[in-house]
Structure 1
Amino acid sequence: MTQPSPTPSLDVVAIGNAIVDVLSPADDAFIATEGMTKGSMQLMFSPAEADALYAKMGPGREASGGSAANTVAGIAALGGRTGFIGQVADDQLGEVFAHDIRAAGVRFDTPVRAGEPTTGRCLIFVTPDGQRTMNTFLGAGQFLPEAALDRQVIADSAILYLEGYLWDPEEPRAAMRAAIDVARGAGRKVAFTLSDVFCISRHGGDFRALIGEGLIDILFANENELTALARTDDFEGAVASVARQVPTLVVTRGEYGALAIQGGERIEVGAEPIDRLVDTTGAGDLFAAGFLHGQASGRDLRGSLRLGAICAAEVIGHYGARPEVDLKALAAEKLD
């Protein structure tokens, strides 16, 4: 049995998709022609499908991504101690991902997977209004086995953070269930992000069961995800229903800010002002980074929400889902 250290060695360890994002501008007509749902995510199930769509992309840029990976990279940029568990293939994109996340200050020791499929990629089309439409080929990440878990790292992390996107494939779903058992056995907190309405449509029953069994301590959702989870169009009703089931509920509301309910206390904050909306890719991921770092470093609920809003505002001002300024300095300037 894994024995946790008395004091956590990491603030947050995350399990998620190890993906390299490819971002390119597109107009609404292209989104419609390709049958995509604007502002959402859809899975691609074969390398051929990914290659065909990639061939239709205009000039773009590559940046390491993956929802939970973006979050721990953001926490590291704020000065937090983080780790990431996710699987890449033994290929060029895998080397890019591993280099980028380690360079961000995140512990990443998951062994690479030999052979096919390739490292995961997400083809992201950004429309002029800053909305991102994602098409994800999970690649090697969808075969993350339970055996790849570093149980000691999980037991020694204050918070285990899981992304709903990775719940779809069978192997990583089993790995995340095992990780929850390790974290809870060590007396650590478990945070979960619903990720997308798409994930809830496929696995809402599982998510509701995790919450109902008391396995989730911190739940992240946006408005649409929350109402889908609660199976109601009444936003406030969804908030009330879900908040009764989790110790901490965090709901992002885009330009209207965010709210959190913890221990019966409800706090709302507005969105941070921005000069220009460029790309919403990673907004929720970086919000989670700010909030989790705030909680791990002893900030109160309002301070944690504000830090989340500050991080989200930074990332939507440029392409890509990783911060491009000194987040630690930015937070100090805005909060202190």
Structure 2
Amino acid sequence: MKLKNGSRRIVGLGSALVDVLVNESDDFIRKIGVEKGGMTLVDLPTLEKVMADASTEPSIVPGGSACNTAVGVGCLGGQARFVGKRGSDDTGQFFHQGLVERGVDPLLMTSELPTGRVLSIITPDAQRTMLTYLGASADTQPEEITPDCFADSALVHMEGYLLFNPDLMTASLKAAKDAGALISLDLASFTVVEQSKALLDDIIERYVDVLIANEDEALAYTGIKDENEALAQLARHVDVAVLKVGARGSYIQHDGRAYRIPAQGSGAAVDTTGAGDLWASGFLYGLVNGFGHEHSGRLASACGFEVCQVVGADIPADAWTRIRKQLEE
């Protein structure tokens, strides 16, 4: 993939959310009436009620899909920035400080609304179901996202959840292109894809260079179950297409050639929260540093494996040490 400038900086653009993680049963998911494995937007009272009904003590870390990816890049030793909007509250300050501590340059606007939160409900099969209160992040205005947000950046990584705000998504894509950056898009959730198909068709063809999807998202977008055919469909209008297939690894297609990347590690997943986000960290870090698609895919698999060994998307320091050793190989 040809970079358009000499920078190696990766910018994550998305919702500034604090992750609240709880372990619950499938019965709990059924009780609250949401689709398992999906993402549901809720208001703050609803979120707080579900949190109060949870039977386990929550753990809390800075989160949000594109934010997790930026944090991963920073922990790999890369140049990382996150652009988003937080509240002028203690939760927002916690979010800001968490980015700094993880090697990410925070470019955060502030709002009078509370900082957004996402409740990740982790079931015994390690799958996560999310209830999201966007809060301040939903207050981001299209005119606030300018090319200056992406100055001196090689690539801007956008989360598919931005599709819920079409004007903001379109303005952000234009600003990133005007800044001379490449654009990667993670489709984020099958629920996002199902509700945004027409807009996706337009922006993928016009703006996106790297498209990342898992099996459910690819099926929702292409309507194709066969993995090879779905990958080819994803790759029609982009330079690089990725299809992640969980414990079986991933497929990467570039310039008509497909690469099969096996999953790494043998331990059972504890929690899949952030698995796709951290996979993207390794892959995009590799691409902007010239590793090639297969090497980047292997680094991505290492990041994805390690985050599944912990609760939440915050990989511990010793695991990052193991991952960084792959950069020396």
TM-score, normalised relative to structure 2 = 0.93
Q: Is the contact made by 1:124 and 1:133 (CA closer than 8 Å) also made in structure 2?
A: yes
Q: What's the counterpart of residue 296 of structure 2?
A: 304
Query: Equivalences for 1:6-17 in 2 at 5 Å?
Result: 7-8=6-7, 11-17=9-15
Q: For 1:23, which of 12, 21, 31 is the aligned residue?
A: 21
Of 197, 202, 209 in structure 1, the residue corresponding to residue 202 of structure 2 is 209
**Residue type matched to 1:273 in 2?**
G
Q: What amino acid is aligned across from residue 238 of structure 1 in structure 2? A: A
**Is 1:282 matched up with 2:274?**
yes
> Which residue identity lines up with residue 78 of structure 2 in the other structure?
G
Partners of 1:69 and 1:129 in 2: CA distance: 25
Alpha-carbon distance in structure 2 between the residues aligned to 1:274 and 1:98: 35
Q: How many residues align?
A: 324
CA distance in 2, matches of 1:197, 1:227: 8
1:134 and 2:164 correspond: no
Q: Which amino acid aligns with 2:135?
A: G
CA distance in 2, matches of 1:270, 1:143: 40
Kept after mapping to 1: 8 A contact 2:147/2:178:
no
Q: Residue 56 of structure 1 aligns with which residue?
A: 53
CA shift for structure 1 position 135: 0.7
Query: CA 1:122–1:306 in 2, change beyond 3 Å: closer, same or farther?
Result: same
Find the aligned partners of 1:258 and 1:155 in 2 and give their Cα distance. 31
Instruction: Look up the equivalent residue of 1:57 and give its one-letter code.
Output: A
Measure, in 1, the Cα distance between the counterparts of 2:319 and 2:236. 33
By how many angstroms is 1:211 displaced?
1.6
Superimposed CA distance per residue, residues 199-239 of structure 1 (whole angstroms, 9 cap, x where no aligned partner): 011111111111223x1000010011112111333433222
Distance in 2 (CA, whole Å) between partners of 1:219 and 1:132 is: 22
Deviation for aligned residue 1:245:
1.7
1:254-333 matched pairs, under 5 angstroms? 254-326=246-318, 329-333=321-325
Using a 3 Å threshold, how does the CA distance of structure 1 residues 238 and 51 change in structure 2: closer, same or farther? same
Q: Is the 8 A contact 1:227 1:235 kept in 2?
A: no
Hey, what's the Cα distance between the residues in 1 that align with 2:96 and 2:324?
29
Cross-structure match for 1:178: 171
Q: 89-98 vs 183-192, which deviates more?
A: 183-192
One-letter amino acid of the counterpart of residue 204, structure 1: K
Q: How far is the alpha carbon of 1:301 from its aligned partner?
A: 0.6
> What is the aligned-residue identity percentage?
33
Query: TM-score, normalization: structure 1?
Result: 0.92
Matches within 5 A, 1:48-127: 48-58=45-55, 59-114=57-112, 116=113, 118-127=114-123
Task: Kindly state the Cα deviation for residue 140 of structure 1 after the two structures are TM-superposed.
Answer: 0.8
- 1:156 aligns with 152
**Does 2:226 match 1:231?**
no
CA distance in structure 2 between the aligned counterparts of 1:47 and 1:187, rounded to whole angstroms: 38
User: Secondary structure of 1:251's match?
Assistant: strand
Output one character per residue of 1:293-313: Cα deviation in whole Å (capped at 9) or x when no partner. Answer: 000111011000000000011
Match of 1:168 in 2: 164
Instruction: Work out the CA distance in 2 between the residues paired with 1:187 and 1:113.
Output: 28
- Name the amino acid aligned to 2:250: A
* Residue in 1 that maps onto 2:142: 146
